[in-house]
Amino acid sequence: MNSSAVRLFVVVALWLGVLPAFAQDAPDPATTDQGQGQDELAPALDATPTPTADAAAVIAQWGPAPAIGSDADQAVARRWFRDQNAVRARWGVPTATRDPYLDWQAENLVRSSLGEAALPQPQGVVMPAVAMQSPQSDRAVLSQTTFWTISDDLWQSWLDSFQTGPSEYWQADHPGETWYTQDRYLRLFKLGQMPRFDRYRLVGVAGRVNTSNAAPTALLSGELADLEQIAPGSGNAYQPVAYGDNAVAVVGYDPWISADGRTRP
C-alpha cells in the first residue's frame, strides 16, 4: 500500500470514529420541535387571566350614576345631606331629617342665587310645626367643589374611606383612645370647628351641578385608583368625570345645640 492510500485510510477511519459522537450529541428534529413548542406554551398555560368586573354587575351592585341635569342636581343635595348625617353618626350626636317644605325653601334659595325664577309653594306642603317653634334657624348656599358621575353609594364609600378618624400622629400620641365621642364633639363645636349646619335637626336641601356650564374634567389617576380599590371595575362601568362649580342650598331649623354649646331637647 503506498503512502497516499495509507493517509486516505486513516482519514476515513477517523471520520467514522467521530460520527457516533455527532450522532449522540445531535438533537432529534422531532424531539426538538416538540420541546420548543412546549417551552413556548408553558407561560400561557401557567398564566392566570386577570378577572375583569362586568360593568352591568358593578352598576347592579352600586347603583347607576345620575344623569347631568335635574337628576344630578338632586344627587348633589342628597350626597351633601347623607354625608352630614354619616359624620354626625360617627360622633354620636343627633342626625338631621329632611322636610319637603324646607326643601322647597332651599330650592328657591339656590334659584335666587343663580338669578332663576322662584317656584310656587307645592300644594299640600306646609311649614312643619317644629320649624315654626324653632328658636333659631339658618340658611345659606354652600359651594361644593366637585361632583363625580358615579353612584351615590360609591361616592359615600369613597368619602368614608378617608373620613374614618384622626391622623396617625394623633393616634400615636393617644394609644387606645377613641376619637369620636360626644364630649370631643362639643369641645370642637365650641371652638367653631364643626360644620355650620350640624346644629340643626330639621333641614331642607337643594343643589345645582355645574353652575358655570364648564366642561367636565377627568378624574385624577389616584382618584380612579381609589374607586377601583373600593369597587373593582367601576372605572370602566361609570367612565366617571368631575364637574366643578356646584352649589348646595341648605335651610336649617330646630337646633339640638345652642351657639354657646348647650344642648337642648
d(CA 80, CA 152): 10
d(CA 110, CA 206): 7
Q: Is the pLDDT of residue 25 over 60?
A: no
- 234 and 154 Cβ atoms separated by less than 8 Å: yes
- 252 and 139 Cβ atoms separated by less than 8 Å: yes
Q: Is the pLDDT of residue 1 over 90?
A: no
DSSP 263: B
C-alpha cell at 10: 486513516
Helices (H), the chain: 3-25, 29-46, 55-62, 70-91, 100-113, 129-132, 152-162, 168-173, 182-190, 221-230, 234-238
Residue (of 247, 241, 240) closest to 211 by Cα position: 247
Average pLDDT rounded to a whole number, residues 251-256 = 97
H helix or E strand, kind and range, residue 247: strand 246-255
Q: Percentage of the chain surpassing pLDDT 70?
A: 79
Average pLDDT rounded to a whole number, residues 181-194 = 93
d(CA 38, CA 31): 11
Instruction: Write down the pLDDT at residue 149.
Output: 98
Instruction: Write down the pLDDT at residue 42.
Output: 43
Average pLDDT rounded to a whole number, residues 117-133 = 96
- pLDDT class of 36 with cuts at 50, 70, 90: very low
**3-class DSSP assignment, residue 171:** helix
Q: What is the mean pLDDT of the chain?
A: 84
d(CA 102, CA 77): 13
H helix or E strand, kind and range, residue 157: helix 152-162
Average pLDDT rounded to a whole number, residues 133-152 = 95
Pairing of strands 97-98, 200-208: parallel
Instruction: Write down the pLDDT at residue 52.
Output: 58
Q: Is the pLDDT of residue 14 over 50?
A: no
Instruction: Write down the pLDDT at residue 134.
Output: 93
What's the pTM? 0.78
Instruction: Write down the pLDDT at residue 259.
Output: 87
Residues 6+ apart with CB under 8 A from 186: 257, 261, 263
Residue 113: count of CB within 10 angstroms of its CB: 14
Q: Is the pLDDT of residue 248 over 80?
A: yes
Residues 6+ apart with CB under 8 A from 52: 233, 236
- pLDDT class of 167 with cuts at 50, 70, 90: low
